[in-house]
Amino acid sequence: MAREIIIAGNWKMNLLPDQAWDLVEGLKDQLKPQSGLKVVVVPQAPLLPLVSGWLDGSFIEVGSQNSSEHLSGAFTGEVSPQLLRQLGVAWGLAGHSERRELFHETDAQVAAKADLLIQQNLTPIVCVGETLSEREAGGHLAKIANQVKAIYAQVPKEAAKHLVFAYEPIWAIGTGKTATAAQANEIHQMIRGVIAESTCEFIAQATPILYGGSVKPDNATEILTQPHVDGLLVGGASLKPQDFIQIVQAFDHL
């Protein structure tokens, strides 16, 4: 089954409005829509209305870095997925490794966020992955499998087709290290197996699984050509217009 390729740029807590404008204009100028490819930019929350407006009418879509597991209420500092939808946001990261590691988000919280994003007609990109110590101890497969299973324990089966996953080897984020293409494919294949066990083979084969971990122009093509890799979640390189453009253009080699 042919799955759509998704390339998302996570800006993290970077860029002021003028810098974001320059980046967006560069992407709009040099990237063109292609069948089978989705391009997403993921700014920090205060930039979302601006970026969404700048990209209005463009094929480039907008995602949020985080959202609440609640629609509204006394949750100071949180962002409602209902509001995100009103702002023109179409995607939402859930459980990014930095949210899990630095802000101690649990599997249950991530699952609740993913479920609510779907309810609000946003596509969640659920991030899963392991630390270096977990990989070296041999516990990484079980950890990732449990993270995936937690999502399906919360998200109803009829909504499962709206999920996207991203595998983030935490040890390869911002370190310059990268899982080999074969290592990434192996984990993606395992994730797909867990999806099949949790839902059915059809949904497993239809679910996009992205790779995120020090993606750069020089490794994007090799990673994307792996049979179980359906796109990329790009960090630092998404802040550099030419680097991100080259990563997106890796789609041309598939």
Please give the positions annotated as active site.
Answer: 96, 168
As a whole number of angstroms, the distance between CA 70 and CA 77 comes to 12
Task: Give the DSSP H or E segment for 166.
Answer: strand 164-167
The residues pairing with 62 across neighbouring beta strands, listed in sequence order, are 41
Assigned token pair, 105: 């988000």
Count other Cβ atoms within 10 Å, centred on residue 53.
12
Burial (Cβ within 10 Å: 0-12, 13-18, ≥19) of residue 74: exposed
The residues pairing with 182 across neighbouring beta strands, listed in sequence order, are none
Assigned token pair, 49: 């209305």
Q: According to DSSP H, which parts of the chain are helical?
A: 17-30, 48-54, 81-86, 97-102, 107-119, 132-136, 140-154, 181-198, 201-206, 217-224, 241-249
As a whole number of angstroms, the distance between CA 66 and CA 222 comes to 29
As a whole number of angstroms, the distance between CA 109 and CA 119 comes to 15
